[in-house]
Amino acid sequence: MIIRKLLFILAVCSQTVLFAQVKVGDTYPAWSEGYMDIHHISTGRGECVFAILPDGTTMMIDAGEIGPSPRVTDARPDDSKSAGEWITRYISHMMRPLPGKKLDYILLTHFHNDHMGDVRLGRNKSDKGNYVLSGITEVGDKIPFRKIVDRNWPDYNWPAAQTDDKNMQNYIRFVNWHVANGASAEQFKVGSNKQFTLLRHADKYPEFEIRNLAANGHVWTGVQNNVNNQFPPLESITADEFPGENHCSAAIRISYGKFDYFNGGDIVNSNASGTWRDIETPVGLVTGPVEVCEANHHAYHDAMGEAFLKAVRPRVIIMQLWSAGHPDHRVLQRMLDQSVYPGERDIFATNLMEATKIVLGRRTGQMKSRQGHIVIRVHPGGDSYMIYILDDSAENFKVTNIHGPYLSN
């Protein structure tokens, strides 16, 4: 037992020495085999996560684009290009060490503009198919992808028909064109750990898994692929009471050895604990403790509830922010509160508006970072990880802050 502990300490120390060579001001070091990088890309216009998994398999979760407003953060690096274009350029840079410049997986957690794009903001139409480029349709148009997964393919009719919405019409045309030209599309399979797998050297990483936790009110039970439905039968409620997009968000857990990462899109509790409108709590309970949690619904007032936090107990919380209301001051206080769950925790934000800083007051000083791309680099085997903050004011990919190493539990 003592020898194993010593070996573990030596391994962590050797990785710490290696990454101590990366200094503030350096260009972010390229990914290499065995590491896992999870990038939270700061555009000021919505959410986007890009991951390079341990064997080089790639995955993008969401790619949003919303319009400018006094209540919305400034575009990053600037507004000379669309959010989709900036995301494309960022991902293309990070994929340079990979043999194939391709997205193996795209996961769209739900159908809101800040996660998928807005057809009204599209600056160009595709040269390929009959769709406008904005957010996810722009990234998927410019970077080839193998598979796209969303919560409601192929009918897009639950809990109600969505095909009258112009954004959905554009997205469906985008999906259909790419399926007709070699890509595949699938509905998110709750409970599965086979929908997103390593594609290159899976046998080298048996400790890696992506588990589909929830979507459309169905939540994994934690046993095999079994699920429970948390929502009432639609015929028992009126159309005005139907679950909203946020409630239906797809949620996943990425595990690599001892390391666990949670991303639940915009799942919420709707401040309705004990009712079916609190989808966040059952998802948290089946997720269990994680090292890193992306804040649900941008840490808005109806998310990151006490029951969820007690269940997942993250060491690191990452907030992808774009609004003056992100994060809610009570939610930030709750995430920092040692009485909710004990132990250290570090909180990072991609964008925090100056007006929001005034409202939050001294609590902003307790955050580790308030601006920039946020990158998790998980060391081989998953026993430890680092957090790097990258400059989002230019395409220099410079490291502005370094945190860690953190030990996985």
What CA–CA distance (Å, rounded) separates 315 from 227?
A: 27
Give every CB contact of residue 216 below 8 A, 6+ residues apart in sequence: 151, 152, 158, 159, 190, 231, 243, 248
Residue 5 has pLDDT above 50, yes or no: no
| pLDDT band at residue 163 under the 50/70/90 scheme | confident
Residue 18 has pLDDT above 70, yes or no: no
Residue 279 has pLDDT above 90, yes or no: yes
Place of tokens 């639950």: 158
Cβ atoms of 289 and 260 closer than 8 Å: yes
- Count of other CB atoms within 10 angstroms of residue 166: 11
What is the pLDDT at residue 166?
95
Distance from chain centroid for Cα 409: 21
Residue 341 has pLDDT above 90, yes or no: yes
Element housing 39 (H / E): strand 36-40
Closest-CA residue to 290 (of 305, 308, 269, 267): 308
| pLDDT band at residue 20 under the 50/70/90 scheme | low
What CA–CA distance (Å, rounded) separates 354 from 73?
A: 9
| pLDDT band at residue 8 under the 50/70/90 scheme | very low
Q: Where are the beta strands (DSSP E) in 103-226?
A: 103-107, 124-125, 132-133, 145-150, 184-187, 208-215, 218-220
Pick from 130-134, 162-166, 177-181, 357-361: least confident: 162-166
Give every CB contact of residue 218 below 8 A, 6+ residues apart in sequence: 190, 191, 227, 228, 229, 230
Element housing 307 (H / E): helix 306-312
Residue 2 has pLDDT above 90, yes or no: no
Helix ranges, 229-290 (H):
280-287
- What is the percentage of the chain residues whose pLDDT exceeds 70? 95
Cβ atoms of 256 and 36 closer than 8 Å: yes
* First CA to last CA distance, the chain: 17
Pick from 3-7, 103-107, 149-153, 302-306: least confident: 3-7
Place of tokens 């699938």: 186
Task: Taking residues 51-71, report their average pLDDT.
Answer: 97
Span 170-206, pLDDT tens digits: 999 999 999 999 999 999 999 999 999 999 999 999 9
What is the pLDDT at residue 9?
46
What CA–CA distance (Å, rounded) separates 232 from 217?
A: 9
Give every CB contact of residue 379 below 8 A, 6+ residues apart in sequence: 12, 15, 35, 385, 386, 405
Task: Taking residues 322-339, report their average pLDDT.
Answer: 97
What residue type is assigned to position 84 of the chain? G
Q: Where are the domains of the chain?
A: 188-409
What is the pLDDT at residue 162?
86
What is the pLDDT at residue 334?
98
What is the pLDDT at residue 259?
98
Residue 86 has pLDDT above 60, yes or no: yes
Residue 317 has pLDDT above 50, yes or no: yes
- What is the percentage of the chain residues whose pLDDT exceeds 90? 93
Cβ atoms of 326 and 300 closer than 8 Å: yes
Residue 17 has pLDDT above 50, yes or no: no
Distances, alpha carbon 315 to alpha carbons 27, 126, 148, 384, in Å? 26, 42, 30, 12
Span 96-137, pLDDT tens digits: 999 988 999 999 999 999 999 999 999 999 999 999 999 999
Cβ atoms of 80 and 51 closer than 8 Å: no
Rounding to the nearest 10 degrees, give the CA dihedral for residues 259, 265, 271, 277. Answer: -110
Strands 292-294 and 259-263: parallel
Residue 13 has pLDDT above 60, yes or no: no
Cβ atoms of 253 and 314 closer than 8 Å: no
Q: Kindly report the pTM of this predicted structure.
A: 0.95
